[in-house]
Amino acid sequence: MVCHAGPGLPHADVIHRARTPSLQVGLQFGPVGCNSGRKPLECKVVRILILQFVPDVRGRPVPRFEPQLGTLLSLLVQREHELSLLGLAGFDVAAVKAALARGLPQLIYADISPVCVDVARRTLQYVQEHEFIPVVAGGGYPTIDPAACLSLPGVQAVAVGEPDASLVTYLERIKDPAVGQVVLGVWARDERGLDRPELPQLVEDLDSLPFPERDLFGYGEYVRRTGEIEIASARGCPQKCAYCMNDRLAAMYADRGTWVRRRCAENVLEEIDLLRQKYEGVRIVRFLDHAFALDPAWLGEFLDAYAARCSLPFRCHLRANAADEQTVGRLAEAGCKLVDIELISASDFIRNEIFEMELSGEQIIATFAWLGAAGIRTRVIIYLGAPYESEASLEDTRSLLRELKPDTVDIRPYYPWPGVRATEICRENGWLHARGEEQLHRDLPGIDMPACRPEKITAFIKRLRQEFPSTLSEPWWRRWSSASRTAIGQLFHKRR
């Protein structure tokens, strides 16, 4: 791997000339008010309001730092666009009005989660009724259903897949509408119809990309509150879990480059150094990649470099079906203090027949034994109310958690994520909840099965959240033992 210590630019070979007449994108946008303070889009600098539509669940911040969106924003800043950002988990007219007044945007970029479509639709409808600002969309929803996304109010183009090069190039074309080119990976419509070009090649050299923008997300406050900096060391994942979009995205990019790509150790460590200099109170590094520990060669090289250069403890994802005692030992030696493990369910049928995780009970037990011996704490992710859930499988999951004794448990009501294989099972059986994505935003189950109703799932989740810790502190079984010893001691003291 060729390692670039500093960030650069993505590959530029992402466009092809249109054989049809020029797509004069800048001339197709709707009018703006004469007193709005907005310039025509054919200027050098474009003021862009980023609307990030993300769910507000489990205490995660809104707006929420996401590495891929942050990289896109860095690329736009490099090209001297003026950016502002508003995160929305619900329809908020006051917040939208304020953002429009502050930024006076000439263009809106809507980053839309697949589970925030209703919020995006209402928000963009309001914008079009009051401001007539053109909209370009990207993110998960445009990627899985670009045609539907183009039907949202004001949306004139959508970036499909990874937007680094394609969307940046498209926005450059907006500044010069005389350029007659169609951009690979960007679906666009005008009065002549819809252009649906194929996807560009993947950016394989992740070290060539700039470090993600963070300040627009209010990242300093996040670090102050958590002591944590978040790092993406890779893109893509080789596993094919049926509750995840990964395999669908990998198929979209077949023959367009290597799907699983990793940054070199020097590039990652340089970003960590810069973040430690920029933000006060950094106490731990959190690696966001689900595939962080899936490449033994890369992992070994990275952990050696990390241990030699960085004194901070770190947390990462660990896939129990790819863990072994040596890997766990290497993680511990390099400073890993916490791993996130997707356990999902104690039911082997749900894990492996429905979600296709290829994860056995024996692998789970062994991984927790190795982690315990190495002194690495654990956070497990559980979905309750998955397809074919039953009262028996719920109790099995509770029993397994009591056996494993994780330090913290993230218990989630299962929601059928749009565009993934497990969701099709729910659709075929008529189990999709009538309230749709509203269920996710209310932290409620997303499917309704006659054998295990949402009310039963919700009640069981409440019980487990009371029984198991949801935040890190002293391990729960140690807290229980300590509290019991204290209570017994006080009882004997009173009797004396």
Using the predicted structure, report yes or no on whether residue 176 has a pLDDT greater than 70: no
What are the domain boundaries of the chain? 15-195, 215-484
Find out whether 127 and 61 touch, Cβ atoms under 8 Å: no
Pull the structure tokens for residue 7: 């960030």
| DSSP state at residue 34 | T
Indicate the SS3 state at residue 51. strand
Q: Is 308 exposed, middle or buried (0-12, 13-18, 19+ CB in 10 A)?
A: exposed
CA 152/CA 18 separation, integer angstroms: 25
Exposure string of 365-381, with b = 16+ CB inside 10 Å and e = fewer, is ebbbebbeebebbbbbe
For 15-195, CATH number out of 3.40.50.280, 1.10.260.40, 3.30.565.10, 3.40.50.10320 equals 3.40.50.280
* Residue 480: pLDDT over 50: no
The pLDDT of residue 190: 76
The dihedral formed by the CA atoms of 57, 402, 337 and 279, expressed in degrees to the nearest 10: 20
Name the pLDDT band for 136 (thresholds 50, 70, 90): very high
Asked if residue 99 lies in contact with residue 49, where contact means CB atoms within 8 angstroms, the answer is: yes
Which secondary structure element, helix H or strand E, spans residue 228, and what is its range?
strand 228-231
Fold topology of 215-484: TIM Barrel (3.20.20)
Domains 15-195 and 215-484 share a fold: no
Residue from 229, 287, 227, 239 nearest 263 by CA: 287
- Element of type H or E holding 270: helix 265-278
Give the residue with greater pLDDT, 452 vs 17.
452
What's the token pair of residue 211? 């470090």
Q: How far apart are CA 9 and CA 327, in angstroms?
A: 34
β-pairing, 107-112 vs 47-53, is parallel
User: Mind listing the pLDDT tens digit for each residue in 289-321?
Assistant: 999 999 999 999 999 999 999 999 999 999 999
pLDDT at 182 over 90: no
Q: Is the pLDDT of residue 484 over 70?
A: no
Q: Percent of the chain beyond pLDDT 90? A: 78
Is residue 70 packed enough to be buried (19+ CB in 10 Å), middle (13-18) or exposed (0-12)?
Answer: buried
Question: In angstroms, rounded to a whole number, what is the distance separating the alpha carbons of residues 97 and 405?
Answer: 48
**Global pTM value:** 0.87
Q: Looking at this protein, which amino acid is placed at residue 334?
A: A
pLDDT, tens only, 5-27: 444 444 433 333 322 222 223 32
Question: With 70 as the cut, is the pLDDT of residue 494 above it?
Answer: no
Higher pLDDT: 2 or 463? It is 463
Of 385, 397, 381, the closest CA to residue 347 belongs to 397
Is 90 exceeded by the pLDDT of residue 360? yes
DSSP 8-state class, residue 447? B
Q: How far apart are CA 155 and CA 76, in angstroms?
A: 19
CA angle 433, 59, 379 (to 5 degrees): 90
Residue 15: per-residue pLDDT = 33
**Residues, the chain:** 496
Q: Per DSSP, which regions of 7-94 are E strands?
A: 15-17, 47-53, 82-88
Question: b/e string for 179-215 if b means 16 or more Cβ within 10 A?
Answer: bebbbbbbbbbeeeeebebebbebbebbbbbbbbbbe
Residue with tokens 């729960």: 476
Token pair, residue 264, equals 């070199």
Query: Is residue 172 very low, low, confident or very high in pLDDT (cuts 50, 70, 90)?
Result: confident
| Dihedral angle of Cα 473, 479, 482, 486, to the nearest 10 degrees | 100
CB atoms within 10 A of CB 169: 22
β-strand pairing of 155-159 with 107-112: unpaired
pLDDT tens per residue across span 222-270 = 999 999 999 999 999 999 999 999 999 999 999 999 999 999 999 999 9
Residue 301: both structure tokens together: 């090289």
In which residue are the tokens 């995660």 written?
A: 60
Weakest mean pLDDT among 54-58, 354-358, 476-480, 487-491? 476-480
Distance CA 38, CA 53 (A): 24
CB 316 within 8 A of CB 340: yes
- Candidates 400, 386, 409, 384; CA nearest to 346 is 400
User: DSSP letter at 319?
Assistant: -
Q: For the ranges 4-8, 107-111, 119-123, 212-216, which has the lowest average pLDDT?
A: 4-8
Q: Considering the chain, what is the average pLDDT of its residues?
A: 87
